Amino acid sequence: MNSEEKQPNKAEETRLMKRYKQYLKLEKGLSARTLEAYGQDVEKLQHYLEEAGVCLQEARLEDLQTFLAGLHDIGIHPRSQARVLSGIKSFYRFLVMSDYRDDDPAELLVGPKIGKHLPEVLTVEEIDALISCIDRSSKEGQRNCAIVETLYSCGLRVSELCNLKLSDLYLQEGFIKVEGKGDKQRLVPISPRAIKEIGYWLSIRKSEWRIKPGFEDTLFLARWGNGIGRIMVFHLIKQLAEMAGITKNISPHTLRHSFATHLLEGGANLRAIQCMLGHESISTTEIYTHIDRQRLRSEIIEHHPRNIKYRNEHRLKPNED
């Protein structure tokens, strides 16, 4: 390949990116948010290669490795590096599948090492404490109770909660329909307590809330009559945690983690938890087995007779300096 062939053709690359985004949307069924992130990842690479005088379509493994090394050098977090890598791999797989090139230069790219991060988990008592801090006499009180209970009892992502519709509720059957990542729908069981809280909210919603046109089917409404947003739910959870004296660093996603962990502790099958959470891969769900094992180890250390005997013996011994 000579240097003239490698020179970037801006118009051609623009057409290529447009086809790639169409592929992600139509064939992969990715959400608008994920589609935008993948496009931005490839555009970062495109700008880098442009400065190096390399055509995006003709990049080699060495070009991609240098680009990723640059992300590391400027202090980009390993998780963000891994996400960019995922976008690049997806793009070059598309080029091969669409016969734009014969080989995949990203196939041998190695991602950064990411340590396992075990998310914060609330106890059932802490979740009850959150809900008990809600002022039910306020206009938003009953709505907030229903929000927290639904987040926890269904293990929803905050975006899934914000997008819930009245037509998604099958409360008599004990299910709700949830639209998750990639516009994939799933049916999730809902607890009797959450059904009760939603029922209370619906009666208030009907009689006391002004609803903006276009939001008649939206389940959870903001005070001005349109749908609630992610930021509002985030601030609600933070505020309730502070009022309840919970010092853990939590967010709406913490309720989802707590839901999954409590299910596992209660004996639920990992595959069932995967379906309820809407995880595409079982490996994503397996993080909860690490949480459970960690808790199990703490219980063993605390209650195992060998450890109790050891602690008693050392408590009786004088300090040896």
Which amino acids are annotated catalytic? Answer: 157, 181, 253, 256, 279, 288
Ramachandran category for residue 80: left, alpha or beta (phi over 0 → left; psi -120 to 50 → alpha): alpha
Residue from 72, 157, 73, 126 nearest 246 by CA: 126
Q: What is the DSSP string of 238-300?
A: HHHHHHTT--S---HHHHHHHHHHHHHHTT--HHHHHHHHT-SSHHHHTHHHHHHHHHHHHHH
CB atoms within 10 A of CB 99: 7
Report H helices in 101-140: 124-132
Q: What is the dihedral of CA 35, 39, 40, 42, to 10 degrees?
A: 140
CB 103 within 8 A of CB 93: no
List, in sequence order, every residue forming a beta bridge with 185; answer none if it has no partner. 179
